[in-house]
Amino acid sequence: MRARATRGRGATANPEGRFERERREPFDDGWGSLAEHALAPPPATEVRPDAARSVITTNESPDIGFDRSLNPYRGCEHGCIYCYARPSHGYLGLSAGLDFETKIFAKHDAAALLRQELARPGYRPDVLVLGSNTDPYQPVERRLGITRAILELLLETRHPFAITTKGAGILRDLDLLAEAARLALARVDVSVTTLDPLLARTLEPRAAAPWRRLEVIRALAGAGVPVGANLAPVIPGLNDHEIERVARAVAEAGAWRLNWILLRLPHEVKDLFAAWLEAHVPDRAGRVLSLVRQCREGRLNDPRFGHRMRGSGVLAELLAQRVEKARRRFGLDRPRPALRSDLFRPPRTDGQLALF
């Protein structure tokens, strides 16, 4: 049975996580149950508390240019079908499919936990990245304000930070970002996967429209915030023809740098992405998967360090050359601005204000 698109959602199904022992699927019991299942309304977003005891995650990956990150949310309502973070919902006993984009776990006390971690004796500040796994400006942030509380603390303590987002909600916090940038404490990367609004609507159903993301870049740059763009992911046969167009558009909007990542399809994401192709672009599904395999040595995913972000082979090298030429042509190859960590001042945890 062909995968069925769900309006406003990226995933076309909700398969059990890879750690589950049981599998469930609808079947015709003779009482019209399949018809009822097909007519069921789209699942609503449900926000649950995340009882985390710490919020800073560290890594030693040679493929990533930072060693610590913070994600205010687990799961992401943006619903990007290609999201490599989807399999993480399996650790919660949930699906990487519709569960990932409808069951959102919010770290309501993230700012308080971060305050405790920054106040620990011996803590050494370095760039803290928000949005490395899920978007800190997904729709629920408008109501909860967890990301803003974190930014207020980072500015209070003069702690350097970077943000990756495709949410226009970041402009709500332009006052904090501009002040942090004035102190050389902040930079932002805005992901622009495609300029095609129709493709974006199904590929990233609840993220900001492409034109709106260009407005975000323009507003951040105008406020003095160092802003780069992420062409991520590059999907051969789907959006790779837009490399030069995206580069030109983000440069004209004020971006100082263009980063890119080849499509990654770990664990359950492989099947979810294949089902999305069949539902939305069935005429190109086989070709897209074939091109991905050409970049991944015959597989749909290659998790090896040094390969997972860029791929390998002739096609991957051609994509890399095109991006590099576009970066040079439009002035998007400038180095990241250095952020200051020498201004850091540990926060008070006793509720008292500092004398100076």
pLDDT for 353 beyond 70: no
| Residues written for the chain | 356
Mean pLDDT confidence for 105-111:
96
Give the whole-angstrom CA distance, residue 121 versus residue 349: 12
pLDDT for 178 beyond 90: yes
Q: Which of 170, 166, 177 is nearest to 82 (CA)?
A: 166
Report the chain's terminal Cα–Cα distance, integer Å.
67
> C-alpha dihedral over 15, 16, 19, 22, to 10 degrees?
-130
> Which one-letter DSSP state was computed for residue 257?
B
Q: What is the pLDDT of residues 224-250, one digit of tens each?
A: 999 999 999 999 999 999 999 999 999
Q: For 54-58, 108-112, 212-216, 339-343, which range has the lowest pLDDT when averaged over its residues? A: 54-58
On whether the 48-262 domain is CATH 3.30.1540.20, my answer is: no
What per-residue confidence (pLDDT) applies to 356? 46
Complete DSSP assignment for 171-212: GGGHHHHHHHHHTT-EEEEEE---S-HHHHHHHSTTSPPHHH
Give the whole-angstrom CA distance, residue 243 versus residue 249: 10
pLDDT for 37 beyond 60: no
pLDDT for 314 beyond 60: yes
Mean pLDDT score of the chain, rounded to an integer?
A: 91
pTM over 0.85: yes
pLDDT for 117 beyond 70: yes
pLDDT for 290 beyond 70: yes
- Residue 133 tokens read as 């796994």
pLDDT for 62 beyond 90: no
Give the whole-angstrom CA distance, residue 190 versus residue 243: 15
What per-residue confidence (pLDDT) applies to 304? 83
